[in-house]
Amino acid sequence: MAMTMTQKILAAHAGLDSVSAGQLIEVNLDLVMGNDVTSPVAIHEMQDKGFHEVFDRERIALVMDHFTPNKDIKSAENCKKVRTFAKDYGISNFFDVGQMGIEHALLPEKGLVISGDTVIGADSHTCTYGALGAFSTGVGSTDMAAGMISGKAWFKVPSAIRVKLTGKLQKYVTGKDVILHLIGQIGVDGARYRSLEFTGDGIASLSMDDRFCIANMAIECGAKNGIFPVDEKTLAYMQGRTSRKPVIFEADEDAPYDETVTIDLDTLKPTVAFPHLPENTHTVDSIDDIPIDQVVIGSCTNGRIEDMRAAASVLKGRKVAEGVRCIVIPATQTVYMQCIEEGLTQIFVKAGAIVSTPTCGPCLGGHMGILAAGERAVSTTNRNFVGRMGHPESEVYLASPYVAAASAVTGKISCPCELD
């Protein structure tokens, strides 16, 4: 039976020769992940049912990133609960202030996810790890608890959409523009409970950071997961991060796909998602003057070093426009240090931006950049729902680091080409 890449990974982890779309299966997990918002619920469920051991202390990751450094008493209590659990249960991969980063940037960086893995995380953007050729998907806190106890999860095997990428990315066009274009084309429910399997010669022009961004936002069109084939760039990224050997799965030539969507990277333009859905996309060259109050550059979607370099290349020698707040958040401590060593932090500060310790912060309206009524932000984050970044009467426009940085300089939504 012909299978997609995702189906092959699931079959292998279920101990089956083959699986087909719609089949219910139980799979063995390589990693279970939670954060400071979702883990306390999972821990409560686990302990309430009388379980005092986890299936594998090495294969659970707990990352304190959403409301850290703690913004209030409730967030402090949540982190304390997870901190105590990690100590009592001997969890090896516990990341607190000083060691933590934004979870979906941190785990690949630490080598905790590799090609061929099956991963669940109590966070919807767990699909990020598909960039490495792994099956990864978000689950609820009770499923996280079950995973920590048993090392297993059940799934309905998803069907798939093939996304064929041709050509190569042009100047100022990034993975963020690719995924926003795709979501704009198929809609926020266009891939509901299906895999997005990326193929085509265009993948070669995508960096790993581009791929992480694209896989991260697969959930924004309803996908169960997004996944890329493993190539030399993937293998080079994983080298030296782990002693585990990656397992490479490839879709069969006659794998069943519900449909094929083709994207020509040669013609793709910088793209912005208007409020209040990621599918409400417009190319930046078609946008009239839209003044802004705030810019956020960071998140699990666009807080990696290439994103920082892109933003710095626009901000270098320029100033953030009067009346605009520009917040830069490197996704991990390693990225933070790279920004310092490469002089990017100096560029940001000289431009009039602030640079924060790693945190999810403003992305979910947590802290470090909450919007008031009537305020408008350009953000490199992944969601722009009503009230996502603060007041329900505020607006969030999703864009790449290039567009976000250019907008910070001009005070309105802008293409960096306007500054050349």
pLDDT tens, residue by residue, 45-59:
999 989 989 999 999
The reported pLDDT for the residue numbered 418 is: 87
* Residues 238 and 304 both lie in one domain: no
What angle do helix axes 39-48 and 73-89 make, rounded to 10 degrees?
50
- Given 229, 246, 263, the domain boundary residue is 263
Does residue 91 surpass a pLDDT of 90?
yes
* Residues 334 and 253 both lie in one domain: no
CA distance 99 to 172: 32
- Given 263, 294, 318, the domain boundary residue is 263
* Residues 215 and 309 both lie in one domain: no
* Residues 210 and 312 both lie in one domain: no
Of the chain, the percentage scoring pLDDT greater than 70 comes to 100
CA distances (Å), 330 to each of 54, 77, 85, in order?
A: 32, 25, 28
CA distances (Å), 324 to each of 253, 284, 368, 409, in order?
A: 51, 19, 15, 8
* Residues 299 and 255 both lie in one domain: no
What letter represents residue 347's amino acid? I
* Residues 122 and 249 both lie in one domain: yes
Q: Please, are residues 419 and 318 in contact by the beta-carbon 8 Å criterion?
A: yes
Q: Please, are residues 127 and 215 in contact by the beta-carbon 8 Å criterion?
A: yes
Structure token digits, residue 228: 């890329």
The reported pLDDT for the residue numbered 416 is: 92
* Residues 237 and 302 both lie in one domain: no
* Residues 205 and 342 both lie in one domain: no
* Residues 85 and 230 both lie in one domain: yes
Q: How far apart are the first and last CA of the chain?
A: 53
Does residue 120 surpass a pLDDT of 90?
yes
Q: How many CA atoms lie within 13 A of 177 on its CB side?
A: 27
For residue 412, the cross-strand partners are 291
* Residues 280 and 251 both lie in one domain: no
Mean pLDDT rounded to a whole number for the chain: 96
CATH number of the domain that residue 311 is part of: 3.30.499.10
The predicted-structure confidence for 223-271, as pLDDT tens digits, reads as follows: 999 999 999 999 999 999 999 999 999 999 999 999 999 999 999 999 9
Q: Domain range for residue 242?
A: 5-263
For residue 260, the cross-strand partners are 162
Q: Please, are residues 419 and 337 in contact by the beta-carbon 8 Å criterion?
A: no
Residue-by-residue DSSP string for 156-204: EPPEEEEEEEES---TT--HHHHHHHHHHHH-TTTTTTEEEEEESGGGG
Is the C-alpha dihedral spanning 98, 379, 123, 156 positive or negative?
negative
**Backbone phi and psi for residue 172, each to the nearest 5 degrees, phi listed first:** 70, 10
* Residues 181 and 324 both lie in one domain: no
Q: Do β-strands 152-156 and 24-28 pair in parallel, antiparallel, or remain unpaired?
A: antiparallel
pLDDT band at residue 419, thresholds of 50, 70 and 90? confident
The predicted-structure confidence for 124-168, as pLDDT tens digits, reads as follows: 999 999 999 999 999 999 999 999 999 999 999 999 999 999 999
Report pTM: 0.95
* Residues 51 and 84 both lie in one domain: yes
Q: Which of 45-59, 106-120, 209-223 has the lowest mean pLDDT?
A: 45-59
- Summarize the confidence of residues 32-36 as an average pLDDT: 97
Does residue 420 surpass a pLDDT of 90?
no
pLDDT band at residue 301, thresholds of 50, 70 and 90? very high
CA distance 273 to 314: 20
The reported pLDDT for the residue numbered 137 is: 97
As for how many domains the chain has, the answer is 2
The reported pLDDT for the residue numbered 1 is: 85
The contacts of residue 330 (CB under 8 Å, 6+ apart) are 298, 303, 305, 308, 336, 338, 339, 355, 356, 358
Q: Please, are residues 102 and 118 in contact by the beta-carbon 8 Å criterion?
A: no
Other CB atoms within a 10 A radius of the CB of residue 24 amount to: 9
The reported pLDDT for the residue numbered 323 is: 95
Does residue 325 surpass a pLDDT of 90?
yes
- Given 198, 230, 263, the domain boundary residue is 263
pLDDT band at residue 350, thresholds of 50, 70 and 90? very high
What's the order of all strands across the beta sheet hosting 159-166? Answer: 225-227, 194-199, 159-166, 259-264
